[in-house]
Structure 1
Amino acid sequence: MAASTLTIRLDSNLKDEASRVVEHYGLDISTAMRAFLTQIVNTNAIPLSLDYEQPNEESLIAIRETKEMITNGSGESYSNAHDLIQAALA
């Protein structure tokens, strides 16, 4: 197997933080990158979550309440942010 060199440009802070994390696992950046690329080849996929995060329970409740308010025509309306803030402070 012939060796090859891969050069990437990235922010120094990102490199430093990533190095800190992989060193916690006893690795260096080169070894972690080889493992990452090996995983891509072995799984024929990028081993990252590219999905949007799902809303938590509190957000789901707020979404349901908002949909109900829209359906029922209930809730308050405000013509500008100032009025909304004033109502919230009252």
Structure 2
Amino acid sequence: MKGSNLTIRIEPNLKKEVSDLFQSLGLDLSTAIEMFYIQALRCHGLPFSVVTDEEPNRKTYMAMKNAENDTNMSGPFESIDDLMESLDT
């Protein structure tokens, strides 16, 4: 059976990493994508859970903590100009 072509845009480094992963599993990209589609049909949706992080990660918590202690942070600001002036000090 002859398949049809699919063209997608993907970041080159991501394509390389995923190609290497699939190759280590004995798959090429076409086969892996076809497997994904088959599973999506079986699940009637994405074959994995898609959720947002409910909690900020450690890096975000650290940035928030640093912002609390930053004496240059103040607000609320009446305008963008006031905010920018505060950042310049």
What RMSD, in angstroms, separates the aligned Cα atoms of the two structures?
2.9
Distance 2:70 2:21 in 1: 43
Structure-2-length-normalised TM-score: 0.56
How many equivalent pairs are there? 63
CA positional deviation for 1:3:
2.4
Q: Give 5+ residue unaligned stretches, structure 1.
A: 60-77, 84-90
Partner of 1:30: 30
Residue correspondence of structure 1 range 1-90 to structure 2 within 5 A: 3-53=3-53, 81-82=70-71
Structure-1-length-normalised TM-score: 0.55
Identity of aligned residues (%): 36
Residue identity in the other structure for 2:30: S
Q: Which structure: larger Rg?
A: 1
* Cα deviation 1:35-62 (Å, max 9, x = unaligned): 001111111111232113465xxx8xxx
Higher relative contact order (CA 8 A, sep 6+): 2
Distance 1:2 1:44 in 2: 25
User: Which runs of structure 1 show a deviation greater than 2 angstroms over 4 or more consecutive aligned residues?
Assistant: 52-55
Residue identity in the other structure for 2:37: L
Q: Give 5+ residue unaligned stretches, structure 2.
A: 59-67, 73-89
